[in-house]
Amino acid sequence: MTPEHEPAKLLEIEDLHVDFLTDRGWTNVVAGVSFDVGPGEIVGLVGESGSGKSVTSLSVLRLLPPAYTRTPGGHVRYRGRDLIGMPQRELRDIRGNEISMIFQEPMTSLNPAYTIGDQIAEGYRRHKGGSRRAAFARAAEMLDLVGIPDAGHRVRDYPHEFSGGMRQRAMIAMALVCEPRLLIADEPATALDVTVQAQIVALLARLRDETGCGILFITHDLGLVAELADRVVVMYAGEVVETAPALDLYDAPKHPYTAGLLSAMPHLGVRGEELPTIPGRTPEPWRMPEGCRFSPRCGHANETCTAAPPEFRIVGEGRGCRCCRTEQLRLVGSP
Partner 1 sequence: MSVMKSSAEVPAPGSPEPAPASGPLVDVRDLSVVFRKRRTLAAPRIVRAVNDISFHIDQGETFGLVGESGSGKSTTGRALLKLVPAAAGSVTVAGHDVTRLRGKALRTARRSMQMVFQDPYSSLDPSSTVAASIAEPLIVHEKLSGRAARERVHELIEMVGLRASYADRYPYEFSGGQRQRLAIARAIALNPGFVVCDEAVSALDVSTQNQVINLLERLRAEFGLTYLFIAHDLAIVRHISHRVGVMYLGRIVETGPAERVYTAPAHPYTRALLSAIPDPRRKSERIVLEGDLPDPARPPVGCPFQTRCGHVMDICRQRVPEPTVVEGGGEVSCHLQTSGPTLAGAPLSALPKGPGPAA
Residue 159 or 180 with smaller CB distance to partner 1 = 159
Q: Is 317 exposed, middle or buried (0-12, 13-18, 19+ CB in 10 A)?
A: exposed
Nearer to partner 1, 67 or 194 (CB): 194
Q: What is the CA radius of gyration of the chain?
A: 21
CA 190 from centroid of its chain's CA atoms:
12
* Of 82, 90, 150, 193, the one binding partner 1 by CB under 8 A: 193
Count of positions on this chain that bind partner 1 (CB under 8 A): 43
Q: How far apart are CA 31 and CA 20, in angstroms?
A: 12
With contacts defined by CB under 8 A, name the span among 127-135, 187-195, 209-217, 316-324 that binds partner 1.
187-195
Whichever of 274 and 317 has its CB closer to partner 1, that residue is 274
- One of 212, 276, 316, 318 touching partner 1 (CB under 8 A): 276
- Interaction of residue 221 with partner 1, rule CB under 8 A: yes
What contacts 60, CB < 8 A, 6 or more positions away? Answer: 11, 13, 76, 78, 83, 99, 184, 216
H/E/C letters for each residue in 227-254? Answer: HHCCEEEEEECCEEEEEEEHHHHHHCCC
Pairing of strands 319-321, 239-245: antiparallel
Residues contacting residue 328 through CB under 8 Å, at least 6 positions apart? none
Which residue in 74, 106, 159, 165 binds partner 1 (CB under 8 A)? 165
Interface with partner 1, residue 42, by CB under 8 A:
no
For residue 250, state whether it binds partner 1 (rule: CB under 8 A). Answer: yes
329 touches partner 1 by CB under 8 A = no
Q: Which stretch binds partner 1 (CB under 8 A): 19-27, 78-86, 107-115, 265-273?
A: 265-273
Which of positions 66-125 make contact with partner 1 (CB under 8 A)? none
Exposed, middle or buried: residue 118 (CB in 10 Å: 0-12, 13-18, 19+)? middle
- 129 lies in the site for partner 1, by CB under 8 A: no
Judged by beta carbon, residue 176 or residue 224, the one nearer partner 1 is 224
Task: Rule CB under 8 A: say whether 48 interacts with partner 1.
Answer: yes
Q: How far is the CB of 307 from partner 1 (least distance, A)?
A: 25
Q: Taking CB under 8 A as the rule, does residue 160 contact partner 1?
A: no
User: Could you give the angle at the alpha carbon of 211 between the alpha carbons of 209 and 215, nearest 5°?
Assistant: 75
Contact 13, 75 (CB under 8 A): yes
Cβ count near 171 (within 10 Å): 28
Q: How far apart are CA 228 and CA 185, in angstroms?
A: 12
Question: Which of residues 163 and 302 has its CB atom nearest to partner 1 in the complex?
Answer: 163
Question: Which residue ranges make up the site for partner 1 (CB under 8 A)?
Answer: 48-49, 149, 163-166, 193-199, 201-202, 220-224, 226-227, 246-247, 250, 260-261, 264-267, 269-272, 274-278, 281, 334
